[in-house]
Homo-oligomer: A and B are copies of this chain.
Amino acid sequence: MESFSGQVGRRIPQEWTSSRPRAQRALELADRLRRRIGAGDFDEGVPEEIALAAEMGASRNAVREALGLLREEGLIVRRRGVGTSVVRPQYGHGLDRLAGLAEILADSGTVTNEVLAAEVVAEVPEPFAARLNLPAGVPAVYIERVRRLNGMPLSLDITYLTGDIGAAVLDGDLAGRDVFALIEEATGAPLGHAELTVHAANANTDVAAVLDIPPGTAIFTIERLTHLADGRPVDAETLHIRADRMALHATVHRGRTTRSS
């Protein structure tokens, strides 16, 4: 931010005539730009500051500050002579194989987890109880974690685990490890398979605050039910994942010749 000392008599920039503080306007403009980036408006490149200021009804200074904020977030890169371009989500989550976040991102940095809850609960919400085949009144282990890569929030994971395996996981290093790895240590055997349902959702206020994004930002919400090798469901999760930092990848094959219209 520039210093404004000793500028008496200088022409007052248009943006100063508003009653909102300048920093606030830059933050709001950054929010609007973040949404447009998420919507793919700038996939071919971000317009020049002057053009963007005109397009967004803002001052050039506000645009410059807002772009500075987005650059600090790693959402855009600005190169002299080349212009400003959008950084696509850096991290990919494959949908071809069952894996935990720390496994997937082992080459990208350090995954750490802020444990918001880790406890035995008597009341399991109906959608999770149904997926885990838990009769009413049977307790389960509840874990809620914010997962960070190199300190940046990537996802908020809500996890319900059944019985003894859940109890063993509670004793594990929840701040540093994937739940999958802890389950496999507890059972001494690799996990089996998982069913995933992927949603795109507008982050609500609570999730947005935890993930450090504006409310309404598009995120992935993934329901994942993981089974032991013998088929028993053991781990029902809802994962809220920042879509500006992570994309999902899959390779699919044509199973059979189809001629349907």
Contacts and interface: CB of A to CB of B under 8 A. Distances in A.
A198 B83 CA distance: 27
Interface in A174-206: 176-178, 180-181, 184-185, 190-204
Given A41-B204, A204-B40, A251 B194 contact: yes
Interface stretch (A4-12, A55-63, A218-226): A218-226
Contact of A243 (B173, B192, B200): B200
Contact of A260 (B181, B200, B220): B181
B98 A201 contact: no
Given A95-B95, A195-B251, A255-B97, A216 B219 contact: no
Interface stretch (A31-39, A66-74, A139-147): A31-39
Contact of A261 (B99, B102, B219): B102
A195 to B, nearest CB: 5
A167 interface: no
A12 B41 CA distance: 45
A35 B200 CA distance: 12
A178 to B, nearest CB: 7
A194 to B, nearest CB: 5
21 contacts: A39-B203, A89-B199, A95-B250, A98-B252, A99-B258, A102-B260, A181-B259, A184-B257, A190-B254, A192-B254, A193-B252, A193-B253, A194-B251, A195-B251, A196-B248, A196-B249, A198-B250, A199-B243, A202-B216, A202-B217, A229-B254
List 10 A-B pairs, minimum CB-CB distance, nearest first.
Answer: A39-B204, A200-B243, A200-B200, A218-B218, A198-B248, A190-B257, A200-B218, A98-B252, A97-B255, A191-B254
